[in-house]
């Protein structure tokens, strides 16, 4: 276990070196082998981990609850709608109380600032299970999947099509640190924020990766090893759904877009999928899709993150 990771929080991939991100992935690979061998190491035996939800969740809720349980800890699942936060208690006050009673906090929230306050005032490791800014656990699970399917990460071309959202941010930042070539095809006005692009370009100089941001989906998909997409309207953007669908239709992953990628390209989606919008049934259920292997790997990477940090 990497001593340097113990006690740290995972709020954004930018806070970790290439070697540290590789340590998460290596640990995920190891724990997946153990899982299929029937070995369950109780690496968090006797601990309690709070799992806090402001947003709905399927894969994150299931994977963290199972991961915490199988590592020997108790998953304390909390909905913010049932906490005193909804009656005006501050995040710092809540964090101070939680930090005295649990050994780690996993939080799926709207604002990145909420995670920063939880980490600052709780005194225990805080894991970002999604914010509007980033989704580091998803991206780490995705890199585990890509390595599993392609045998490496360095030099792999990862193409993301659609909305430059929190998942796109984490793939861009994490990919540039790990040495993947990351190409984003987004409509005008839907690219990631300049600060995220600048961050990725900075990391790419060190890792040797290539970063491309384009409004041309076919150009982005050209010679891709991995095609990746996400829903076009994230949680909290439902009112913009129809407008976004009209704008993003050319960015759908379908057989036509797939033809621009490499013959052995894999297709990824963090789910839930709006079939017929950002991806077609033909592709999602087709031979290039690794979407459900990708979903399973959330369990193994959550175990890796928890065991290394807590």
Q: Tell me what pLDDT residue 1 has.
A: 43
Q: Tell me what pLDDT residue 235 has.
A: 67
> In angstroms, how far is the first alpha carbon of the chain from the final one?
11
Q: Tell me what pLDDT residue 40 has.
A: 86
CB 226 within 8 A of CB 157: yes
CB 173 within 8 A of CB 142: no
Going by the annotation, the residues of the binding site are 57-60, 84, 108, 135-138, 166, 230, 234-235, 270-271, 298
Going by the annotation, the residues of the binding site for L-ornithine are 166, 230, 234-235
Hunting for tokens 């070539």 — which residue is that? 181
CB 251 within 8 A of CB 230: no
* Residues carrying an active site annotation: 108, 135, 138, 230, 270, 298
CB 231 within 8 A of CB 271: no
What's the whole-model pTM score?
Answer: 0.96
Distance of CA 27 to the CA centre of its chain: 16
Nearest to 305 by CA among 117, 104, 57: 104
Distance of CA 98 to the CA centre of its chain: 25
The pair of structure tokens assigned to 270 is 């963090």
Domains of the chain, with CATH numbers? 13-134+296-309 (3.40.50.1370), 151-289 (3.40.50.1370)
Nearest to 48 by CA among 65, 27, 63: 65
Going by the annotation, the residues of the binding site for carbamoyl phosphate are 57-60, 84, 108, 135-138, 270-271, 298
Q: Tell me what pLDDT residue 2 has.
A: 45
Distance of CA 45 to the CA centre of its chain: 26
The pair of structure tokens assigned to 264 is 């052995």
CB 173 within 8 A of CB 199: yes
The pair of structure tokens assigned to 48 is 């309690």
244-281 in b/e form (b: 16+ CB < 10 A) is bbebbeebbbeeebbebbbeebbbbbbbebeeebbbbe
CB 71 within 8 A of CB 44: yes
Q: Which residues contact 251 (CB under 8 A, 6 or more apart)?
A: 161, 162, 185, 186, 187, 217, 229, 278
Q: How many Å apart are CA 203 and CA 199, to the nearest integer?
A: 6
Q: Which residues contact 160 (CB under 8 A, 6 or more apart)?
A: 167, 168, 171, 172, 182, 183, 184, 185, 220, 228, 229, 230
Q: pLDDT tens digits, the chain, 310 residues: what are they?
A: 445 899 999 999 999 999 999 999 999 999 999 999 999 889 999 999 999 999 999 999 999 999 999 999 999 999 999 999 989 999 999 999 999 999 999 999 999 999 999 999 999 999 999 999 999 999 999 999 999 999 999 999 999 999 999 999 999 999 999 999 999 999 999 999 999 999 999 999 999 999 999 999 999 999 999 999 999 987 667 788 999 999 999 999 999 999 999 999 999 999 999 999 999 999 999 999 999 999 999 999 999 999 999 9
Q: How many Å apart are CA 123 and CA 295, to the nearest integer?
A: 31
> Judging by beta carbons within 10 Å of its beta carbon (0-12, 13-18, 19+), is residue 139 exposed, middle or buried?
buried
């Amino acid at each position: 276990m990497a001593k340097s990771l113990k006690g740290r929080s995972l709020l954004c991939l930018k806070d970790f070196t290439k070697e540290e991100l590789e340590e998460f992935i290596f640990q995920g690979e190891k724990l997946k082998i153990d899982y299929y061998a029937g070995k369950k190491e109780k690496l968090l035996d006797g601990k309690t981990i709070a799992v806090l939800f402001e947003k709905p969740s399927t894969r994150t809720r299931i994977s963290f609850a199972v991961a915490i349980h199988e590592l020997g800890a108790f998953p304390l699942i909390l909905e913010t709608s049932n906490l005193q936060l909804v009656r005006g208690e501050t995040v710092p006050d809540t964090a101070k109380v939680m930090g005295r009673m649990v050994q780690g906090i996993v939080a799926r929230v709207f604002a990145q600032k909420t995670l920063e306050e939880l980490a600052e005032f709780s005194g225990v490791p805080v894991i970002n299970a999604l914010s509007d800014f980033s989704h580091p656990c998803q991206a780490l699970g995705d890199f585990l999947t890509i390595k599993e399917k392609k045998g490496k990460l360095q030099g792999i071309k990862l193409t993301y099509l659609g909305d430059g959202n929190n998942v796109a941010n984490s793939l861009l930042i994490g990919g540039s640190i790990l040495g993947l070539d990351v190409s984003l095809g987004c409509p005008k006005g839907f690219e990631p924020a300049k600060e995220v692009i600048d961050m990725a370009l900075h990391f790419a100089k060190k890792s040797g990766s290539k970063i491309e941001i384009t409004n041309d989906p076919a150009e982005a998909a050209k010679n891709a090893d991995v095609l990746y997409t996400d829903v076009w309207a994230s949680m909290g953007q439902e009112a913009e759904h129809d407008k976004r669908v009209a704008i993003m239709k050319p960015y759908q992953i379908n057989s036509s877009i797939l033809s621009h990628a490499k013959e052995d390209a894999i297709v990824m989606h963090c789910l839930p999928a709006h079939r017929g919008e950002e991806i077609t049934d033909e592709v999602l259920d087709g031979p290039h899709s690794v979407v459900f292997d990708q979903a399973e790997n959330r369990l193994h990477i959550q175990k890796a993150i928890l065991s290394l940090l807590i």
